[in-house]
A and B are shown apart, each in its own frame.
Chain A
């Protein structure tokens, strides 16, 4: 009914008719995200990781406390389908030999000693989601006392695969929960800072500068060193997460503040105020949604930093401690060359860190590009 304003409007109109005109922002972002192949693959990896986190007792062949003193630092086994005694999924057992001088035990695969492996086998009992008692494991030796160490064992004789599965739960959830905490802090303080301005802005910005000016690792160490050593692992886990979040919110708060500063002058904000909206409603219902996709992108981009921070802290011995198991705790094992030269599989937790960090980065990149309205 109205005449279009100019050529740019007209082309926009044509594009619009090709898609449903009511496509929401999230759908537009998803369409753009799907085109980013690497990000999509990474998203699947992360989805798998989430599954592992939720079902970790089921995925791990052995329980987190399982320890086999007979096989310390045993090398990974290879899954086989065929042996002299017939068809069937199995691994070879070990024969061990101790060097009389160095006392180091070396293991070799022993094809004679067949360990049958099955899916959904009975094993150690556990409680799924913390309340469903069950004893099945995704994969495991049909006889739970047989050794099946697909990724080898640790210096303590624990199954590395199971340990990595449990560590994934801890490390990834530290990252995710920590980032969520940091984001709540960052968004609220950044919003207040940018929206109200004045002394509130001044105070918040000075606090941010103060936190940012202190080098991160000594700051974590300082906080973590204040924790009593005999603390219960769960409490320690939450406190470490909180410490990481308290250091990490600053960057996001600045970003959010900048967005609020630039949006504050928009007329739709003035009109929301004249509509009688409260400040909170204006900030979180009117302003925040206009960059929520950027926040989600920033969220997935900052999880890696958090995971690395936890890994570093735990590796230094100031974060989580055994019996809690995280990638950083596991990598402590791999920090001695004498150990590592004989047992390179102990670096697998490090590979997990790299994989997950990269995946979060790619997903974050993909989301950021997809959320950028100037790209498409």
Chain B
């Protein structure tokens, strides 16, 4: 990447879900799913977004594609604020940001044929019809490695990997620039995983796509991402180039995540072994002050428990500089 050009800027994004409301309909108890995320996606890159279940990474992805409303904060796409757009412009921007869903089963309507599913974005907006529609669907199916002969079949006759190809075809048929892939391979067999990842890589090169690749699987992200953002408790706690992050994480949470990656070669087993985190996540409707990870962190000090800790120099840890944390580079084949 010679010149980095920002495609999507996320500024202080908050997403809160109301749990309980008072008589006037105002939320009294809220869950903070995403609390203050700042991220920039550069054109043509793949940004990996990792974190454990419930850390807000899926909510962040859904907010970017417009499936979820942000409570506050801004999404700037190509310099324009998405929230400020008119309804029609928003519809147009949705064609530039597309999503590949996690579950290849529930994301495909069982009552629709592949033709209807893949062509839906074109039909819904009246962009193409008749022979042109059919040609574009067939073309897209070929690109993702599906035979156009399958066009009139229903999703139930396909395997998970093939279904995920359908999902990718539907996302790409409108010619997007940014694709949010929400755990696109986590529901798949290991043997199929590599095929789908390779397909994503090929399509990226062919169409010049930018990916936000959401996953809880660090080895998959290492494989695909240029940069990695680690999310914990609704915040990005670490952001770094993939190589640097895997070599020397700068946040204790990242280290703990990495220690959980299974290592196929026993002779390379890490120096420290698995870090088991005590305690559960803090209550998301009542976030603690200071570092949200402090209660579970082995390196925590008194100063970790107070004040807002910014994402300084790619890490939200106040002790980032003094700690020597263990990465997993070299442990992966």
On A, residues with C-beta under 8 Å from B are: 1-5, 9, 12, 16, 21-22, 25, 266-268, 270-278, 281, 286, 289-290
Chain B residues whose C-beta falls within 8 Å of the C-beta of A286 in the assembled complex: 109, 112
Per-residue CB proximity of B153-193 to A under 8 Å, as 1/0?
11011011110000000100000000000000000010110
Q: Is B111's CB under 8 angstroms from A290's CB?
A: yes
Contact of B189 among A5, A275, A278 (CB under 8 A): A5
Per-residue CB proximity of B91-123 to A under 8 Å, as 1/0?
100110011011100111111110000001100
A323 to B109, CA, bound (A): 52
Contact of B192 among A2, A16, A276 (CB under 8 A): A2
- Does B313 interact with chain A (Cβ within 8 Å)? no
A119 to B101, CA, bound (A): 67
Q: Is B109's CB under 8 angstroms from A290's CB?
A: yes
Contact of A2 among B99, B101, B162 (CB under 8 A): B162
The distance from the CB of A68 to the nearest CB of chain B, in whole angstroms, is: 57
Q: Is A267's CB under 8 angstroms from B162's CB?
A: no
Q: Given A3-B192, A5-B189, do A271 and B111 touch, yes or no (CB 8 Å)?
A: no
Contact of B67 among A5, A9, A270 (CB under 8 A): A270
Q: A2-B161, A267-B106, A275-B120 are in contact. List 15 more A-B contacts (CB 8 A).
A: A2-B160, A3-B159, A3-B191, A16-B156, A21-B157, A268-B108, A270-B101, A271-B107, A272-B124, A273-B67, A274-B67, A275-B121, A275-B170, A276-B125, A277-B124
A116 to B238, CA, bound (A): 100
A1 to B162, CA, bound (A): 9
Q: Is B153's CB under 8 angstroms from A276's CB?
A: no
Q: For the side of the interface on B, what is the size category?
A: 35 or more
Q: Which 8 pairs of residues, A with B, have the shortest CB-CB distance?
A: A2-B161, A267-B107, A275-B121, A277-B124, A2-B159, A268-B109, A289-B111, A276-B125
A289 to B111, CA, bound (A): 7
Q: Is A274's CB under 8 angstroms from B192's CB?
A: no
A-B contact pairs, 18 of them (CB 8 A): A3-B159, A3-B192, A4-B159, A5-B189, A9-B159, A21-B153, A266-B106, A268-B107, A270-B62, A271-B170, A272-B109, A272-B124, A274-B99, A276-B91, A276-B121, A278-B124, A286-B112, A290-B111
Closest A residue to B113 using CB positions: A22
Contact of B110 among A22, A272, A290 (CB under 8 A): A290
Q: Given A275-B170, A281-B124, A289-B111, do A5 and B106 touch, yes or no (CB 8 Å)?
A: no
Chain B residues whose C-beta falls within 8 Å of the C-beta of A267 in the assembled complex: 101-103, 106-107
- Does B36 interact with chain A (Cβ within 8 Å)? no
Closest A residue to B146 using CB positions: A1
A5 to B193, CA, bound (A): 12
Closest A residue to B102 using CB positions: A267
CB within 8 Å of A: which of B132-170? 152-154, 156-157, 159-162, 170
